Amino acid sequence: MSTRFTYSRWDGSQKGFDIDADALLEAVTDDLLYHGDVNSALRRIMQQGMKDRNGERVAGMREMMDKIRERREELLERSDLGGVYSEISQALDDIVNEERHQLDKNVAEANTSGDERRATTARDAATEHHMELDMLPQDLAGKVRGLQNYDFQSTEAQQRFDELMDKLREQLMQQFVDQMSGAMENMQPQDMQRMKDMMAALNDMLDRREQGEDPGFEKFMEDFGDFFPENPETLDELLEIMAQRMAAMQAMMNSMTPEQRAQLQQLSDQLMDDMDLRWQADRLGQHLQGMFPDAGWDRQYQFSGEDPMGMGEAMQAMQELGELDNLENFMRQATNPGALAEADLDRVRELLGDDAAQSMERLAQLTKMLEEAGLVNQKDGRLELTPQGLRKIGQNALRELFNKLDKDKIGQHQMRENGGGHERMYETKPYEYGDSFRLDLQQTLRNALRRQGGGTPVRLQAEDFEIERTEHLTTSSTVLMIDLSMSMPMRDNFLPAKKVAMALHSLITSQYPRDYIGLVGFSETARILTADQIPAVSWDFVYGTNMQHGFMLARQLLAKQHGTKQIIMITDGEPTAHITSYGDVYFNYPPVRETVEATLAEVMKCTRDGILINTFVLDATTALRSFIERLTEINHGRAFFTSNQDLGDFILVDFLEHKRRMSRAR
């Protein structure tokens, strides 16, 4: 049976065009060209985020850290840490009020009995008990201690007090459990012995490891593994979990006022009289603080809300705040997207939501994606563009400029007529953007069959297209001179200039492979650049615009070439530096006559060698315009006074028109 396919128009609701290596490289092209560093470009994507091909937002680290701060502020501004003991104090006040009510009730009943002696006894007893209640200490621990020694007259008040004490003991015991384990809830006093056994075994295990002996981790997990639902696989993992829990408890204590902290400590001493348990816990805490000094033992928070928290709620809040802090620190320390692979995505999802976890997962794959596509590789611990990546950058820049051009400026981008300046070489090449579509059907079909295997129908894809290679009988040689002085980035001209360099190099090497393209950068001095240096080249932190040296190097490059020769110069400044007869660099601003004359002398040499100079001037001042007009008058080239927005348009139009004139002249 034949397979049938149904096609429909793309309406934006379909999925499948997510982030791929080409789209990622396109997203970082401008950043990479401006800063010249793959690592920096990826770090900025990691920090700022991006949109995928579906238009969906991939959040960056800044957005995620904003969410962390919002969640932290929500917890701090909503909650009142004083609730850890204020709810206990309120419960004690209610018990005292209940006891006073019973005392008054006893006096009233005695007064109505008609028994004067009974009434006197009741009044005396009530007065004594009221006085005892009045003398109760105001601090929480003192009030508990006083009521423990008080002879309740109200059965209900006595019962409520006993229940409150049992609850407090459970909470304080749970405090120890929360520091040690996340497994045990609603712990009873009878469970304390096993808790002590676990902590003693853990401390002994640490002592054995310090002495170089086998700590016996497997045996410990057999005996006490139920305390640890995280199921740690190593002793270090277990200790890190416990350190985080104990640090959260310490952060709660640190965040209390001195009065709150003292009251809670006294209450703990009042109700928890098991000194062995406390000794084991203190011993373990000292071990963990020495092993994990950066776990946040000194961390504290300023709660400003009105919603009182109990002990359990406070511990949960502290643990969440600590995890938010740790996640934020992790993000700040991540120097490249690959480092994000170490994140616990499940915890990120719990703290910040599904979108944040998905964004982090996708960001973590960026570096690997580029490496697997062959666009970047690792060299000496840093990422660098491969030759394939360099070609992609150039194609991206060229595509952007071509898409920006209005068709009525230059008509079609390609000559469609045969003959003239082309001769068949009986060779083929893969089709690239901008190529004339001289399809070689036989090789194209071979490519498709090689890709999909035998059988019909043969389904063609873009990568199957193979075109006839033609030889340009009329060649031209071009040197692109780029101003690298400090004024270029200061006026936002640097990125457009580099983008033009990449685009022009890509155009010539792909469309006119027999033509020559050379590159020269100039500031205080000039230097010859190679194509693979363009993405990494940056402006020079020196003063000076040495056109003379740039023309000299360009002329030397073109002396080795054939065909028509031209220099394309991009600049935004006057010549302010030149090489003296002694080989030194002379700089002066504003330009002096010696610099101008030395530059124009080099222009004359280019003119005698048949080299045409076309100048593209950005942010032209009156003085710069005057100099360029003198240069053009000597050389008979052309000058274009443009902006950084239109620079690429003008250069590509002029270059392609120049190629057309050469073809028509044959």
Write down the domain spans for the chain: 21-77+326-385, 83-302, 422-472, 476-664
Which span out of 75-84, 231-240, 246-255, 588-597 was modeled with the highest average pLDDT? 588-597
Token digits of residue 15: 């999925």
| Mean pLDDT within 234-255 | 75
Q: How far apart are CA 241 and CA 224, in angstroms?
A: 15
pLDDT value of residue 304 = 74
Are 564 and 557 within 8 A, CB to CB?
no
Across 40-49, 400-409, 431-440, 452-461, least confident range: 400-409
Are 631 and 581 within 8 A, CB to CB?
no
Contacts of 642 (CB under 8 A, 6+ apart): 616, 617, 618, 650
pLDDT at 14 over 70: no
HEC string for 586-636:
EECCCCCHHHHHHHHHHHHHHHHCCEEEEEEEECCCHHHHHHHHHHHHHHC
How many C-beta neighbours within 10 Å does residue 403 have?
Answer: 7
Are 543 and 589 within 8 A, CB to CB?
yes
Q: How far apart are CA 227 and CA 251, in angstroms?
A: 22
pLDDT value of residue 181 = 46
Strand residue runs (E) in 33-190: 50-51, 57-58, 79-80
To the nearest whole percent, how much of the chain has pLDDT over 90? 13
- Residue 325 Cα distances to 65, 67, 72, 294, 301, angstroms: 10, 12, 9, 12, 11
Are 272 and 278 within 8 A, CB to CB?
yes
pLDDT value of residue 414 = 35
How sure is the predictor about 557, in pLDDT bands with cuts at 50, 70 and 90?
very high
Strand partners, 383: 378
In the chain, the amino acid numbered 434 is G
Q: How far apart are CA 235 and CA 241, in angstroms?
A: 10
pLDDT in tens, 521-552: 999 999 999 877 877 777 788 889 999 999 99
Are 652 and 401 within 8 A, CB to CB?
yes
Q: How far apart are CA 393 and CA 230, in angstroms?
A: 47
Q: How far apart are CA 58 and CA 355, in angstroms?
A: 8
Omega of the bond leading into 189 within 30 degrees of 0 (cis): no
| Mean pLDDT within 372-383 | 77
Q: How far apart are CA 599 and CA 418, in angstroms?
A: 43
Of 382, 358, 212, 207, give the one whose Cα is nearest residue 284: 207
pLDDT value of residue 413 = 33
Which is it for strands 382-385 and 422-430: parallel, antiparallel or unpaired?
unpaired
Of 80, 321, 312, give the one whose Cα is nearest residue 178: 312
Return the CATH class of domain 476-664: alpha beta
Between 192-210 and 155-180, two packed helices, what is the crossing angle to 10 degrees?
20
How many C-beta neighbours within 10 Å does residue 318 have?
Answer: 28
Of 34, 618, 124, 58, give the one whose Cα is nearest residue 355: 58
How sure is the predictor about 423, in pLDDT bands with cuts at 50, 70 and 90?
very low
Strand, helix or coil for residue 378: strand
Across 39-48, 366-375, 399-408, 608-617, least confident range: 399-408
Omega of the bond leading into 590 within 30 degrees of 0 (cis): yes
Region class of 583: left (phi > 0), else alpha (psi between -120 and 50), else beta: left
Q: How far apart are CA 631 and CA 615, in angstroms?
A: 9
pLDDT value of residue 428 = 77
Of 492, 499, 519, give the one whose Cα is nearest residue 619: 492
Question: Structure pTM?
Answer: 0.54
Cα Dmax for the chain: 138
Q: How far apart are CA 515 and CA 302, in angstroms?
A: 69
pLDDT at 274 over 60: no
pLDDT at 1 over 60: no
Token digits of residue 281: 């816990």
- 11 or 156, greater pLDDT: 156
pLDDT in tens, 122-157: 888 888 888 888 888 776 667 777 888 889 998 998
Q: Rounded to a whole number, what is the distance in angstroms from the first to the last CA of the chain?
A: 58
| Mean pLDDT within 585-596 | 94
How sure is the predictor about 403, in pLDDT bands with cuts at 50, 70 and 90?
low
Strand, helix or coil for residue 542: coil
pLDDT value of residue 541 = 81
| Mean pLDDT within 358-367 | 84
For all residues of the chain together, what is the average pLDDT?
A: 77
Handedness of CA 358, 359, 361, 366 (dihedral sign): positive
Token digits of residue 422: 């082309």
| Mean pLDDT within 393-410 | 57
